Amino acid sequence: MIDYEILKDISTEDLAGLKLKLNKELMELNRNISDLSEVYDEVRDMRNRSFSKEMTPSEIKKYGIKTRLPGNVVFKLLERYYYLDLYKKIKNI
């Protein structure tokens, strides 16, 4: 009710400007969600490739085991800091 009392005093010209700003923000959010989806797909594929192929001798020497390969490390960092959870929640919305 408080918001209604405030909003009913706003002029229609101001509301039109507000609608344009909201649409701009929504477009930007959609673009960011799309970018996040692309990054998730890339990281997931990079991780899957890391585990599906045999390690080369140089990779064994450098990383030791598959869980230390860059594809897995990046995925785990995104998972640790809840970016993957955020993406999954946004995707469900």
How many Å apart are CA 58 and CA 37, to the nearest integer?
32
pLDDT at 54: 93
pLDDT at 18: 80
Q: What is the mean pLDDT of each run of 10 residues along the chain (93 residues)?
A: 73 79 90 90 93 93 94 93 89 81
Q: How far is CA 70 from the centre of its chain?
A: 19
pLDDT at 7: 73
pLDDT at 1: 55
DSSP 26-76: HHHHHHHHHHHHHHHHHHHHHHHHHHHSPPPHHHHHHHSSGGGSHHHHHHH
pLDDT at 93: 78
pLDDT at 36: 87
Q: Is 5 helix (H, G, I), strand (E, B) or coil?
A: helix
